[in-house]
Amino acid sequence: MQTLKNSQIMDNEIKQLIVSDEKVAHVQLENPLDHALLILIKSGYTAIPVLDKSYRVQGQISKAHILDSILGIERIEMERLHDYKVKDVMSPKVPRMHKDETFGKALMLSINHPFVCIEDHDHSFVGILTRRSILALIHRHFEK
Ligand code: AMP
């Protein structure tokens, strides 16, 4: 029986699976929170990468991070969206991989994370790997 462990798929490169940076919705550390909320709502994603001015990954921000930060005792205080920047509420924890690493690592990281940030040799942001693309590859592999 074909198993994932002894399958060549685990040593595959991930390059062909990467959603390239120009197609990835992202925000920057210094962006105001209302801008981040707009990008999240318009893109339809729950969480997106946060980059710095040098295009390096610094973390991720989600709708939940933003809503938590403006949650008052009795209501959501929308006016506070202007008081914060992305860097004030984001999470610095985001899984990352080098673009030359293998599918096996991406698969392992995707167990706990819906997307993995992919970096170049100089640590600049190249794009993301999504759970969807990882599962699609496994599906194609076992369909053969
Ligand atoms: P998926 O596996 O396609 O459901 O994507 C998993 C997660 O990756 C989404 O919930 C988003 O947080 C993130 N994501 C997927 N595609 C994009 C994109 N084009 N821009 C920003 N984030 C994305």
- List, for residues 66-110, the tens digit of each pLDDT value: 999 999 999 999 999 999 999 999 999 999 999 999 999 999 999
Note whether residue 1 is domain-resident.
no
Asked if the structure places residue 43 within a domain, the reply is: yes
Measure the CA–CA gap between 118 and 120, rounded to whole angstroms.
7
pLDDT digits (tens, 9 = 90+) for 1-49: 566 666 688 888 899 999 999 999 999 999 999 999 999 999 999 999 9
Question: 92, 59 in Cβ contact below 8 A?
Answer: yes
Query: Is residue 102 situated within a structural domain?
Result: yes
Q: Give mean pLDDT, residues 123-127.
A: 97
Those residues with Cβ within 8 angstroms of residue 16's Cβ, 6 or more apart along the chain or in another chain: none
Asked if residue 125 belongs to a domain, the reply is yes
**Residue 134 in tokens:** 């990882």
Tell whether ligand 1 has an atom less than 6 A from the beta carbon of residue 45.
Answer: yes
Number of domains in the chain: 1
Token readout for 131 is: 């759970």
For residue 3, being part of any structural domain is answered with no
Query: Do residues 79 and 24 make contact, with C-beta atoms less than 8 angstroms apart?
Result: no
Query: 68 lies in which domain range?
Result: 8-143
pTM above 0.75, yes or no: yes
**Ligand 1 atom 1 nearest Cα:** 132
pLDDT computed for residue 63 by the predictor: 97
Task: Answer yes or no: is 2 within a domain.
Answer: no
Please indicate, yes or no, if residue 52 is contained in any of the structural domains. Answer: yes
Mutate which of 45, 94, 107, 126 for ligand 1? The one with the most ligand atoms within 8 Å of its CB, which is: 45
Neighbours of 40 (CB within 10 A): 20
The domain that contains 54 carries what CATH number?
A: 3.10.580.10
